Structure 1
Amino acid sequence: MPASALRTLYSLLFYLFTPLVIIRLLWRGYRTPAYLHRWGERFGLAPFLAGKAVIWVHAVSVGEVQASVPLVRALLDRYPDHTLLLTTLTPTGSAQVQRQLGAQVAHCYLPYDLPDAIARFLQRVQPQFGVILETELWPNLLHQCQCRKIPIILANARLSERSALGYCRLGMLTRDMLSKLTFIAAQGKADANRFIALGAPPERVQVTGNLKFELKLPSHLPTQGMILRRQWGEQRPLWIAASTHEGEEEQVLAAFKQVQKRYPTALLVLVPRHSQRFNRVHHLCQRQGFITQRRSEQQACAPATEIFIGDSMGELPLFFAASDVAFLGGSLVPVGGHNPLEPAALKRPVILGPHIFNFMGISHQLLEAGAATQIQTIQDLTQAVLRYLDDPQLRTKAGKAGQQVIAQNQGASSKIIQQITILLSG
């Protein structure tokens, strides 16, 4: 079937299931009220951005927004006479835009990939060019951008084996989408090869590195971390389980019980990935008999507290800075893991579970450098935490190795800006 027919079928199915999309928004809004607002943007009613040429950057959610910041700032420096519009799909991504960039950029939600919604969005925004982060490939969006002669760059592009298999099943539709991209800036060689194998023109694909290595943490963060550590208990062994998912907290708590046998005064900082799970995780800790305190209580951490739940937004880097060892969630269950670079940048040894396919390249570099340890079981997690808590020199060595890995992999944003400059001058 031709790509145009597949795209038409896809659009008809999307329209057919739009009522279910709205029901899902209502359901998510019940748990996260921010989903109940700004629906017009989700159907193309973006703000009019009159007066200046518009550069459009799309980042799905929190992680992609965080990765986009160095590139966005480089674009603001290079094109000061332009308005930069940063779109996201999630309210948490929107909040991250406000925290990281504030009034420096305009923001709205990217509309659903319905032909009329995309047309309204592009008519209102009229971007000079667009930069889409990672692997956000939408048939109608890319088709209408091509029809309007809007160049689209896929930046920080990654494609795991699992994702490549999924796109391969779409056949002509995937090849058609890839052919509409002006340039693909791949994170690594394996990503580039997978895009080419799926049909991307080889001359449009280049390895530029991973933007996530260009994170710039606030210079005051280590000092703030030391202050918080004194509040928690300077002499207490302290480890953090960050961005945990359903099914992981039970395993982390089992490991913590074993850690306590050697370090009775140890403190576990437990930070669930999603805010709607804060209460559930708090009750789980209490049911298991742990003396538990929450960040939202705004009280000093009592010496008897065993678990401190980080139920606030935007403070995870601070919690990393105050901890001795960091375990990254989403890796004991098949979520694929989360970005390990923040704790590495703060010189914290990182522990990863078996499921790290979302950050395979970064994780392997940290593992090979000795900046991280990968575990398979609860027993492995216990032993890894104890090994780092037992040996301050090992922690220092791992922390320095992590910083070195980050320093060696920076420069992706300048390579992408170079390609954008060539594109606009061509």
Structure 2
Amino acid sequence: MFALLFYRILLLSLLPIVLIALLLRSKNNKQYRQRISERLGFISNSIKPDGIVVHAASVGEVLALKPFINELLTNYPALAITVTTFTPTGSAQVKKLFGNSVQHCYLPLDIFPCTWLFLQRVKPQLVIFMETELWPNLIAQCHHKKIKLLLINGRLSKKSLHSYSKLKALITPCLQRFDTILTQSQQNLAHFIQLGARSEQCLNSGNVKFDISINDELAQKQTELAQYISNHRKTWIVASTHQGDEKLALLAFTKILAHFPQLLLVLVPRHPERFQSVAEQCQKQGFSTIKRSDKKVINDENIWLLDSLGELMATFALGDIITMGGSFSGSIGGHNPLEPALFKKPIIVGNDMSNFAEVMQQMQHENGIVQLKTPATTTSIDEQADELANSVIKLLSAPEQQHILGQHAYNVVLANQGATQTTLQQVQSLLNQ
């Protein structure tokens, strides 16, 4: 109790600094200074109360939860489904995917007055968090108000377990306030219990990120994007890149062009505020670059920069080889390889995929992915670029191996689907209590 009180006082005292930080971040993305009132808990009166709140922090979480949210809309048509995010890109994705079929607002800052105002307005029956999204103050208030709490797709890596253990006095009571914790794997379940969650409240449900499919909307987007790329060109997609990933990709690309001079590199930065700087970096390196926003057909250009939101998954269908960013620096932990696997694409990732440890184990066991051996912490970027380039060249030279890798990755996706249905059963159970 003392830890929570200290947490509340600390965050309240830091409120001016948090607001200043949001304003500073808005220099690169003006949307961070918009709808500040929502971040303070002042939610629009148009939001209907007494429903279900699902928190999806940003774009990746929104996309991963799409099948689950669609099932909620189908199964609970009389309840208001409110999807909250914390980033503007996540907000844009909610509006794009669901339109007016769900309610949407930012989840407020985890500061007592802000969260109190939020709960007074929304009055949810059930609040659903995802993976490692733990908001101690909001969770404590929900528990006090007897609002049901569900953590889905729970993920707690060894690294996160070590970090959270330092805050055990705050985190353990937070976990114990959940009615149910659903985890991605047995290993994650063990980590949650080690951190203080009760074994009877935890269940290994599997990973909802496996529950993806190619629907009509996705197929239409694929057709739309395909018109921009010449059919005869081999295409290498480097997706969800962070600072430093582009430099590595461009170094590798230079080496690959010596063997495949017509190769098209599709770069997809993770964060919109970096679109322009990445474009300038490509051009500075001497690569002819065309942006998705230009809406022009790609002819002889070297690079297509996907400076758009919500189109990455459909773009995977157009690639010959996919490389997932965020897996090279040792600080990000990688990004979801399951989406390109859905399209039976050969996938190359860096040495650090700690965010997807169980997924990687299964893909490697089935020989469905290529992981580089060179860690950023002990090797130079030139060595990393050499290994990445050699891996791409090897696959481009072996179409049959591309096919085998892609099929094996796809098999892993199919074999692990079903977590969404388990999660829905828990939702029903909690609402009926």
Range of TM-score over shorter length: over 0.9
* Percent identity for Structure 1 against Structure 2: 39
1:357-376 matches, within 5 Å, as 357-375=354-372, 376=374
**2:136: which partner in 1?**
139
1:362, distance to aligned residue in structure 2 (A): 1.7
**2:416: which partner in 1?**
409
Aligned pairs, number: 422
1:370, distance to aligned residue in structure 2 (A): 2.1
Question: Contact 2:48/2:122 (CA < 8 Å) preserved in 1?
Answer: no
From 301, 305, 324, give the equivalent of 2:320: 324
From 173, 185, 193, give the equivalent of 1:176: 173
1:187, distance to aligned residue in structure 2 (A): 0.6
1:232, distance to aligned residue in structure 2 (A): 2.1
**2:377: which partner in 1?**
none
Residues 137 and 226 of structure 1: is their aligned pair in 2 closer, same or farther, counting only changes over 3 Å? closer
**1:91: which partner in 2?**
88
Residues 51 and 291 of structure 1: is their aligned pair in 2 closer, same or farther, counting only changes over 3 Å? closer
Letter in 1 for 2:302: E
CA distance in 1, matches of 2:119, 2:49: 15
**1:6: which partner in 2?**
3
- Structure 1: unaligned runs, 5 residues or longer: none
Which deviations, in whole Å up to 9, do the C-alpha atoms of 1:373-395 show, x marking residues without a partner? 00132222112111221111111
Question: Contact 1:131/1:153 (CA < 8 Å) preserved in 2?
Answer: yes
The answer to whether 1:109 aligns with 2:116 is no
From 189, 205, 208, give the equivalent of 1:208: 205
**1:396: which partner in 2?**
403
TM-score relative to the length of structure 1: 0.95
C-alpha root-mean-square deviation of aligned residues, in Å?
A: 1.7
The answer to whether 1:308 aligns with 2:308 is no
**1:385: which partner in 2?**
392
**1:424: which partner in 2?**
431
CA distance in 2, matches of 1:15, 1:195: 28
CA distance in 1, matches of 2:260, 2:412: 31
CA distance in 2, matches of 1:83, 1:275: 30
Letter in 1 for 2:234: P
1:9-408 matches, within 5 Å, as 9-48=6-45, 53-219=50-216, 221=218, 225=222, 228-229=225-226, 231-303=228-300, 305-334=301-330, 335-375=332-372, 376=374, 377-408=384-415
Question: Contact 2:263/2:302 (CA < 8 Å) preserved in 1?
Answer: yes
Letter in 2 for 1:127: P
Letter in 2 for 1:123: Q
1:421, distance to aligned residue in structure 2 (A): 2.0
CA distance in 2, matches of 1:52, 1:38: 20
1:371, distance to aligned residue in structure 2 (A): 2.0
1:355, distance to aligned residue in structure 2 (A): 1.1
CA distance in 2, matches of 1:145, 1:247: 40
TM-score relative to the length of structure 2: 0.94
Question: Contact 1:155/1:186 (CA < 8 Å) preserved in 2?
Answer: yes
Residues 18 and 177 of structure 1: is their aligned pair in 2 closer, same or farther, counting only changes over 3 Å? same
Question: Contact 1:240/1:327 (CA < 8 Å) preserved in 2?
Answer: yes
- Matched residue SS, 1:127: coil
